[in-house]
Amino acid sequence: MRNIYFVLSVYLMIPLFPLAGNTYTTQQREDSLLSLLESSPTVDEQIELYKSLATMYRQTPKEIVYLNKMAEVASSTSEDHASLYYAWANLSRHYYNIQNRDSLIYWSNKIDSLAADVDEIPDALFDARGFICQMDLWDGNYELAMNGAISLYNYARDTKNEYGLICCNENLGLIYQEIHRDSDAIVAYREGLGLLQKRGDNPKFEMQYMGNLIESYLRTNHFTEAKELLARYDEMIRDRERENKEQGTAFPVDRCRALMYIFYADMYVLKDKPKEALEALSKATPILEAGDDYTKFCYNFVFAKYYYLTGKYEKALNIIDTNKLTEEDIRTTELKVDILEALGRYKEALAFGRKVVEHAQMLHDEAFNRQINQLRTLHDLNNQEMQAYELQLREQQLHAQKLLVIILLVISIVLLVMLYIVHKFYRSARHYQQELMKDKDTLLESERQLRTAKEMAEHANRMKSTFIANISHEIRTPLNAIVGFSELISDESISAGEKREFFSIINNNSYLLLNLINDILDLSRLESGNMKFTIAKCDLSDCCRNALASVEHRVLPGVRLTYTPAEDPLHIQTDSIRLQQLLINLLTNSCKFTKEGEINLSYQTDEDKRYVRISVTDTGCGIPEDKQKVIFERFEKIDEYAQGTGLGLSISQTIIEHLGGSIRLDPAYRHGARFVVLHPYDHPLDNPS
């Protein structure tokens, strides 16, 4: 397989230029270019003429002559490094193709030396080093090839050289393919092909990449990816065919098309589609003469696989033996063993398999010995370098000791002075830093307090505006009734019955106005902390009964007022007056909105006796869902036209919070409204404010 890859590389590296009609035409063109050189052209013109002459005689001895002359002319000017790189890179390619390792390394080193001197990273550097990696690969020195390829890849990556990454990925892909690690080859080829397609300036190199990638796809059964890439490969073949006609170039279109059909056939064989495989092979057969050894190998190998798939084992074996395919690739040896076993020739299969194993073992032994020799050589070189380094180090130490004492004294003095200065500066800076931090903390705290005060002031202003708007409305309504009906009473035409009704209205609105004022005063005292809470042990049952007695006259006819204590008596720590006020507010609300049914006051304790759960339940109209979240806000009423101030629940919530408990509306109760109060059982609050 290494020979096939070598021939393929040589073939793909031959540039494409218009073919001369015959030898006479080529000679005539050479004479014309040489005559132009004799007319004393400029340096740039000489370089272009020598480049054209070298291109005419690509991969022939004359190419070396003209490339050397081109390099000689380019060396006469210190600015034309590109022409030097071009000449040396093509010399490297020439010697790579004829397997002259020493000359290849010589010209590669020339490129490295010039690039280091002028601090450049030319494309020629990656071309020449890549040739060395590939030569190691075809020689079977996989370790050297891999080390060189990885080292070159890391260099291209660190210097962010795009062309270098393209070349290095091709080298890595070829190495991985040769050692049958096609999954890794796919990764390398994909990265390089992506960069190459991004540049879009070398479609022929791109086709070479695609051919290698397709082969690895087929080896790893990535048929979908291979089919997509083959379609693109076919398009590029057509583009090259048009270029040949329009520009007179000689791109090997037939060879590429034959290779494409062979890839299709291989894919169909692997997918167990013999009919489609034979059709693809038939298309490749007429144009196979344009192919090289690699193309013919692929063609014969796929045909052998096709015959094996269709059960024509003798034909498959004949193709392998006639074309000596087992000398090229380990995969053909595996196929031959399978064919012999299918024919029942087990002894031959065993003997051939043993021969293959022995050959592989020999190659492994050679590789092992080669690695040992390389390690021994490296060890010897390291020893020599170490000895030279030790001698140089001793000389440096002797020289350094003469100045060491003086330098140490000077350094010590300087360090002491610097330490003193740094210490003084540090103390001063630390002091200033602490002062600044204190000032910063003070400013931040002031800013926070100002922001809090501003927010509180804005909130208080909004609350004041809202309170004035609401209270003016709530006070105006009963006052209007009182004033209006007071004027009507003075009218002598009004009957005594109507006057009694008017007196009742005036009395009711006076009561509402008084309640409103009392609620406002209570709420104000609660929020300002002026309302005192006297926490003492009291009987909860007495509180509940007193609250019930206070609202009995408000219960509408047909409504039952019931009381169901969990245990009687029950003593808790609370302010009995404020607790009664809370219960009266809740019961009064239930009386207003319950037309029939029952109003129930109950309480019960939890198992740990930490809280008492007091509930007021009615069968009234209930509270709409949109009001449940705001029912405890000030002046919030279910019915805007109903009597009341809208402050009762807000006051109740404030009272229970001062007592250390909470109040909530039970959303699960659907037959009216149920308010639940949680009151601490035995945790007294000592006059909270």
**What is residue 680's DSSP assignment?**
E
pLDDT at 10: 37
Contact 506, 486 (CB under 8 A): yes
Q: Which of 322-326, 471-475, 591-595 has the highest mean pLDDT?
A: 591-595
Rounded to a whole number, what is the distance in angstroms from the first to the last CA of the chain? 96
Q: Which two tokens stand for residue 605?
A: 């304790």
pLDDT at 18: 38
Q: Which two tokens stand for residue 281?
A: 């092979």
- The residue among 388 and 566 whose pLDDT is bigger is 566
Distance CA 263, CA 281 (A): 9
pLDDT at 326: 67
Q: With a cut of 90, say whether residue 275 has pLDDT above it.
A: yes
Tens digits of per-residue pLDDT, 348-385?
878 777 776 666 566 555 555 555 455 444 445 455 66
**Does residue 119 come out as left (phi exceeding 0), alpha (psi in the -120 to 50 range) or beta?**
left
Q: Edge-to-edge strand order for the sheet containing 662-665?
A: 559-565, 597-605, 611-618, 673-680, 662-665
The stretch 126-138 carries a mean pLDDT of: 87
Q: With a cut of 50, say whether residue 17 has pLDDT above it.
A: no
Distance CA 171, CA 167 (A): 6
The stretch 97-117 carries a mean pLDDT of: 89
Q: With a cut of 80, say whether residue 473 has pLDDT above it.
A: no
Tens digits of per-residue pLDDT, 534-574?
788 888 888 898 888 888 888 888 899 999 887 777 888 88
Residue 561 makes CB contacts below 8 A (sequence gap 6+) with 548, 551, 552, 555, 598, 599
pLDDT at 401: 80
pLDDT at 5: 41
Burial classification of residue 275, based on how many CB atoms lie within 10 Å of its CB (0-12 exposed, 13-18 middle, 19 or more buried): exposed
For the ranges 7-16, 55-64, 402-411, 453-462, the lowest mean pLDDT is seen at 7-16
Q: With a cut of 80, say whether residue 629 has pLDDT above it.
A: no
Domains of the chain: 2-248 (1.25.40.10), 532-680 (3.30.565.10)
The stretch 173-197 carries a mean pLDDT of: 88
Q: With a cut of 80, say whether residue 610 has pLDDT above it.
A: yes
pLDDT at 617: 92
pLDDT at 375: 44
Tens digits of per-residue pLDDT, 237-269?
999 889 888 876 667 888 889 899 999 999 999
pLDDT at 225: 92
Q: Mean pLDDT, the chain, as a whole number? A: 80
Q: With a cut of 60, say whether residue 686 has pLDDT above it.
A: no
Residue type for position 184: D
Burial classification of residue 612, based on how many CB atoms lie within 10 Å of its CB (0-12 exposed, 13-18 middle, 19 or more buried): buried
pLDDT at 637: 64
pLDDT at 1: 45
Beta-sheet strands, E only, within 476-552: 536-539
